[in-house]
Structure 1
C-alpha cells in the first residue's frame, strides 16, 4: 500500500529487554513510531494504541493536516482507555510523518510528542526535524548544557511529554515532499548508541526504505543498545515540484497555518487540541 508519491518500510527489535514496548506503522500515507513508556503500566499496549489511532489514515485517498491532528486526539483517547483498563498510568511517545495535501500540493506532516525523532536526509545531509521533549533538551534550550553533554547526561531518559499525559498538544511541521527526500523516524534505542553522522551514512547508502530501516536497527544492536529499537524510513518518490521551490526544507504548522503563507521557521510549532 502506498500513495502515488511516497513509500516506506520499518523494522523493530526488543534488544536485550524481555518485552518490546515499541510499535510502528509504515503503510500508505503513515510512517510513525511509538515508544511505550517503560515506567508506566501498559507501555506496550499504549504504543499499539497510538498505532491503531493512525491506521485509518494509511489507506485514506486524501489526508490533510487537520486529519493528522484528529488522529493525535484519537490516540490520546485510546491511550486513556489503556490506562483505565490497566489500572494505572500508560503512555507512549509518538513521532513520524504523514503524507498530506495542503494548498493543492504534497507535503509531509511531521509530528512529535516525546523523545523519539524524525530526521530529514537530502543530498547526503541529515537534519533533525523534531525537537525532543526531554529534560536534557530543556537544559540545552536554557543554555545550561551543550548538545554534546546532553548525549551522556544521567537524566537523558527523562521524557517531559507523552501521549497519555495531561498535555493535549503536539509539535508539528510541514516538510516539502521533494523527490529524493528520505525521512528517518526512530525510537531512542537508536540514538542512544548511533551518532547522527552514522545514521546519515547508513540511511544514505541503503537502497530501499525497508533496507535502510533494517540496517539501522542492526547497527544499534551491534553497538550494544540497551533498549528496544525501532526505525521507520519513508521516501518521497515523484511528488510534484512545489510552486515555491525555496531551499528551506520545513515549515512550522499550527492552528493558523492553513491561512498563512507557510513562512519557514527554525523552531517548533506546538498545536493545542
Structure 2
C-alpha cells in the first residue's frame, strides 16, 4: 500500500514566529501547536514531533501504548527544559500512524489538545478527533452551539496539552485505511480561518494531497494573514498510482522536507 502526502506550514502573516511543527515520516504523520512564547512553544512542538519520528523506525505495527509512551517522554523533555523557569511551555498534537489490526491496514489516529484530524471523502468531511478545549466542553454541555464556539473569546483555552503538567490522557481512534478518503491533520490556525465546508471543498478539488495542503494554507492566510500559525498535513493511501497521483511523480521539490521543519515560517 502506497502513502501519498502533502505538508504546508507558515507563521500565518500576523505572528512573528511559527510555533507549530509538522511531521511526515511514513508511516507517522503529526501536527503539533506549541505554546508558551516564541522559543518555548517552538521547543515544545519540536520535542513532540522529534519523539514521534522514532515510531517510524519500529519494525512492527505501532500500537496506542507506543504513542502514549512517546508523548510521555516528550512531555518529560519539555518539563526538563523548563526547569527553573516560572513560565510554562507545552503543545497540542494530532496525528495518524498507518498500522495493522488483524492483518488489515488501519490508521491509528490520536490527539491531545485542540489540533484536529479530519477524514475527508469526495462527498463529505468528518472531524475524527475531539477538541480538548473549554469551548468544546461548553458545546458538549449545551451551553453554546458549535458555531458560537468558533467566535467565543475563550476558544483558545485548551484543557489538555503535552508538557504543561501531569501526563495527559491521549485519545485514540482506529480507522480502516485504503479507501478513497484523505486524512487531514491541522493546527487551530486552519479551522480558525476556514469552515469545515471550505476545508472539504478545497480537499475535494485537489488532485493530490500536496495540492490540498498548499491550497488550504493559501486560503487561510489570504487577505492579510491568519490570526495564528497555520499547519496542514494531508495524507492518503492507495494500492497503485491510479488511486492517487504518485508522490514520486510530483517531484521532490514540490514535496519539500517531510521531516519536522526547523525554522519554518520564521
Smaller-chain TM-score range? 0.7 to 0.9
Alignment: residue pair count: 236
Q: Deviations over 1:99-156 (max 9, x none)?
A: 1112211110111101111000123210000010111001001111111111111110
Ranked by relative contact order (alpha carbons within 8 Å, sequence separation 6 or more), the top structure is 2
Deviation, structure 1 residue 88: 3.7
- SS in structure 1 of the partner of residue 126 of structure 2: strand
What is the alpha-carbon root mean square deviation over aligned residues? 1.9
Q: Would the aligned equivalents of 2:120 and 2:200 in 1 still touch at CA under 8 Å?
A: yes
| TM-score of the superposed pair, with normalisation by structure 2 | 0.83
Counterpart residue number, 2:232 = 231
Counterpart residue number, 1:10 = 7
Counterpart residue number, 1:268 = none
Q: Deviations over 1:56-108 (max 9, x none)?
A: 12244433223223322222222223323866421000001111112211110
Structure 1: state its 5+ residue gaps.
240-273
Structure 2: state its 5+ residue gaps.
241-266
Q: For residues 141 and 206 of structure 1, do their structure 2 counterparts lie closer, same or farther at Cα, with a shift above 3 Å needed?
A: same
In the alignment, the residues of structure 1 paired with residue 50 and residue 212 of structure 2 have an alpha-carbon distance, to the nearest angstrom, of: 24
Q: For residues 84 and 102 of structure 1, do their structure 2 counterparts lie closer, same or farther at Cα, with a shift above 3 Å needed?
A: farther
In the alignment, the residues of structure 2 paired with residue 62 and residue 13 of structure 1 have an alpha-carbon distance, to the nearest angstrom, of: 33
| TM-score of the superposed pair, with normalisation by structure 1 | 0.81
Deviation, structure 1 residue 7: 2.6
The answer to whether the aligner puts 1:216 opposite 2:216 as a matched pair is yes
- SS in structure 2 of the partner of residue 139 of structure 1: helix
In the alignment, the residues of structure 2 paired with residue 145 and residue 39 of structure 1 have an alpha-carbon distance, to the nearest angstrom, of: 30
In the alignment, the residues of structure 2 paired with residue 193 and residue 6 of structure 1 have an alpha-carbon distance, to the nearest angstrom, of: 28
Q: Deviations over 1:208-236 (max 9, x none)?
A: 21221111111100154111100001102
Counterpart residue number, 1:154 = 153
Q: Would the aligned equivalents of 1:136 and 1:155 in 2 still touch at CA under 8 Å?
A: yes
In the alignment, the residues of structure 1 paired with residue 207 and residue 25 of structure 2 have an alpha-carbon distance, to the nearest angstrom, of: 18
Q: Would the aligned equivalents of 1:187 and 1:231 in 2 still touch at CA under 8 Å?
A: yes
In the alignment, the residues of structure 1 paired with residue 210 and residue 59 of structure 2 have an alpha-carbon distance, to the nearest angstrom, of: 23
Q: For residues 142 and 49 of structure 1, do their structure 2 counterparts lie closer, same or farther at Cα, with a shift above 3 Å needed?
A: same
